[in-house]
Structure 1
Amino acid sequence: MTDKRVLFVASEMIPYLPENEVSSLAYESPRMVNDRGGQIRIFMPRFGNINERRHQLHEVIRLSGMNLVVNDMDMPLIIKVASIPKERIQVYFIDNEEYFKRKATFTDEDGNLFPDNDERAIFFAKGVVETVKKLNWNPDIIHVHGWMASLLPLYLRKYYADEPLFAESKIVTSVYSKEFEGSLDAEMINKVKFDGIEEDQVKALEDPTYNNILKVAVDNSDAVIIASEEIDEELQQYLSSLSKPVLPHKSIYEFEEAYNEFYENEVLS
């Protein structure tokens, strides 16, 4: 992976949020690329339960200040950055007071999904792309972890289809076991269509369940990694029907070599 550029886009990541399957692999996979001589950029949402003082987040003024349109509303984009001690790894945080100030990630204190999670995902996808454009950094691979990051492949392939910076980029989506029950807002498909994305390209979002959001992600990806030992049977069957590279599950103790070979021999070949 020497000198290859890999953009990691994650819903959550240690050490900023509690350890789970997504947050662990979203940290370990860029660390692996970094250790093997690759160049990396990492993006995640700046959720309100991330301790800014402890992790020394600070705003990057030259990257902030843009407004992103979500469902006909202008939403200010704030970019913050922090460094992971000992690893020489920098993380960019996508922030907006309306979407990310609350002291929780995806659900309220009663475990109910936030009603605007769909808009938060749209804002996050656009925010990542617009910031990478400002950095003028063209990735060889874009690797997506977690459902709140999973609109990125769709937006890159459809909304930003004419953006030359990503013309050669290959998209990899990691599929994890079901991260939420139920559905996001029923209007999600219309909010995505507002951005000029055709209905037949997002028909699965008529019912924005976890499985259907991931189907849209893998449809717009070049390759897929099964990141959990067990994933929903419906998703498993969907992945088995794909005519694109799919890496079977590898444990966190053996993923490094497998991911590295997959990147080099399947994704970039």
Structure 2
Amino acid sequence: MKRILFATSEAVPFIKTGGLADVAGALPKCFDKRYFDVRVILPKYACMKQEWKDKMEYITHFYMDLGYKNCYVGIMHMEYEGIQFYFIDNEYYFSGPKPYDSAPWDLEKFAFFSKAVLSVLPVIGFRPDVIHCHDWQTGLVPVYLHDSFQQNEFFWGIKTVMTIHNLKFQGVWDVKTVQGITGLSDYYFAPDKLEAYKDANFLKGGIVFADAVTTVSNTYAEEIKTPFYGERLDGLLCARAHDLRGIVNGIDYDVFNPETDKCITRNYNAKTFRKEKVKNKIQLQKDLGLNEDPNAMLIGIVSRLTDQKGFDLIAYVMDELCQDAVQIVVLGTGEERYENMFRHFDWKYHGKVSAQIYYDEPLSHRIYAASDAFLMPSLFEPCGLSQLMSLRYGTLPIVRETGGLKDTVQPYNEFEGTGTGFSFTNYNAHEMLATVRNAERVYYDNKREWNKMVDRAMAADFSWSHSAKQYEEMYNWLIGDK
């Protein structure tokens, strides 16, 4: 039996701010339980829902040094859907209204978490073969493992994997502060280790010291070796190219299932969508104040409203796009200028544009089910989950060919009769608009082709089981069981 520990700062259903939580919560369930014992460890945040806290059982506590501090480490445990979850308890670090705050406080918080992850292992009697670390918040796990923990033979031979979910976030602060927080010696603050451009960098430490590095799609794994996408770590990622692989994320096919989804108005599947899917659109139009027209092409957007997601392109051509026979529904929050932009267009083109500037999980499901197309023109996108959800609901994605979007959406080819969506190559507003208009043309003038594309989209398999097999292969390779 191979033992794997996921170390993560968030996991569904306990705490979620983004796609990382979906990965850490859903992926562990998909491994072959005959060969893999996969467990998850994360902080016990005060802002978790009380219902989860009530179900956790206290195991024990001890004290651990972190820099010049002596810190309480509580261990809580709970089994959920067959997976063992451990929670690190410390009110000093994990109180507060949300999981992340700001640097340097977050760096101290996750330095504590990274060291605690290793410290609890002998106490809970679980010695993993592989510790799978997710994003910069756990970047110090491989570093600490390499450092003081080598004095205890319990830790000898434990392998580490560093998964980059979004290279933009690295956990960077000045060397002196980080050295004080972490208690690591000068040896670690050199350019070939944690130091990068005169600062200390948690993620860089993880990439340097981990035995393998992964990211969340094949294309992104290639892109981050270039200066444009590499966020100043492209040199290091090129140096580790032999240990770097891309494994595309999946989604939970039980949660995102148009046949059983309780959030949507009318359930449907690949056989019945031609009749039933539109009923979701009509109800959503009613509820959100859009003109009630079952034939109007509805374009959905569910997203953080940030530059990364391509909203400057949308801003540039939104007036032009609103001259077309389309409706647009937006759900999400983010940068104020984009929130206000969509509010403005909702006011200006009321009945054609609906801006829902908040976040609501059930409404997101309704938008995936009701829309005909889903717009996602990202500047960069490590994997992206929204396009996978769209495909599952037979809503055709319109995406830019970057990262995971390029790997998961096959562009429509009218001559070969292939494709599961529409895509464009350059980060250019009018290239995006032309692609949207090409989709409109197929939708209005060739409904039969459109429906065949929906058939292919709903048949695509981006469930976790596929990705889990690739992770299993990597673990076997690491542990030396080829």
What TM-score, normalized by structure 1, do the two folds share?
0.83
Letter in 1 for 2:212: A
Please say if 1:131 is aligned against 2:104: no
- CA distance change for structure 1 residues 162 and 249 in 2, over 3 Å: closer, same or farther? same
Give the aligned partner of residue 87 of structure 2. Answer: 93
Q: Please report how far the alpha carbon of residue 38 of structure 1 lies from its aligned counterpart in structure 2 after TM superposition.
A: 1.1
Amino acid at match of 1:27: G
Contact kept, 8 Å, 2:114 with 2:140, in 1: the verdict is yes
Residue 199 of structure 2 is aligned to residue 203 of structure 1:
no
2:75 aligned with 1:83, yes or no?
no
- Give the structure 1 partner of residue 315 of structure 2: none
2:208 counterpart of 1:219 = yes
Runs (5+) with no aligned partner, structure 1: 108-112
Q: Distance in 1 between matches of 2:21 and 2:196?
A: 26
Higher share in helix: 2
C-alpha contact (below 8 Å) 1:82/1:90 kept by paired residues: yes
One of 184, 189, 194 as aligned partner of 2:183? 194
Quick check: 1:48–1:100 contact (8 Å CA) kept in 2?
Answer: yes
The reply on whether 1:175 has 2:387 as its aligned counterpart is: no
* 1:247 partnered with 2:245: yes
For 1:162, the aligned partner's letter is Q
In 2, Cα distance between equivalents of 1:238 and 1:204: 10
Change beyond 3 A, Cα 1:179–1:170: same
Q: Which structure exhibits the higher relative contact order, with contacts defined as CA atoms closer than 8 Å and separated by 6 or more residues?
A: 1
- Is contact 1:204–1:213 with CA below 8 Å preserved after alignment? no
Q: Does 1:264 align with 2:262?
A: no
5 Å matches for 1:6-155? 6-18=4-16, 20-33=18-31, 35-54=33-52, 56-61=54-59, 63-64=60-61, 66-84=62-80, 87-107=81-101, 113-155=102-144
Q: SS at 2:47's partner residue?
A: coil
Q: Is the 8 A contact 2:139 2:204 kept in 1?
A: no
Q: Tell me the alpha carbon deviations over residues 178-220 of structure 1, each in whole angstroms, 9 at most, x when there is no partner.
A: 4648844654432256344623343339524xxx321210111
Residues 75-121 of structure 1 show CA distances to partners (whole Å, capped at 9, x for unaligned) of 2111122221xx211211112111101121112xxxxx153212111
Look up the SS of the partner of 1:251 in the other structure. Answer: coil
Taking only aligned residues, the RMSD between alpha carbons, in angstroms, comes to 2.6
Corresponding residue of 2:318: none
**Aligned partner of residue 160 in structure 1, secondary structure:** helix
Which amino acid in the other structure matches residue 88 of structure 1? G
Give, in whole Å, the separation in 1 of the partners of 2:479 and 2:177.
Answer: 30
Is the contact made by 2:135 and 2:166 (CA closer than 8 Å) also made in structure 1? no
- Residue type of the partner of 1:138? R
Q: Whole-Å Cα distance in 1 between the matches of residues 107 and 76 of structure 2?
A: 22
Q: Percent identity?
A: 25
Larger radius of gyration: 2
> Following the alignment from structure 1 to structure 2, what is the Cα–Cα distance between the partners of residues 23 and 8?
12
Identify unmatched segments of 5+ residues in structure 2. Answer: 251-461
Aligned pair count? 255
SS of the residue corresponding to residue 224 of structure 1 reads strand
Q: The residue matched to 1:11 in structure 2 has which SS?
A: coil
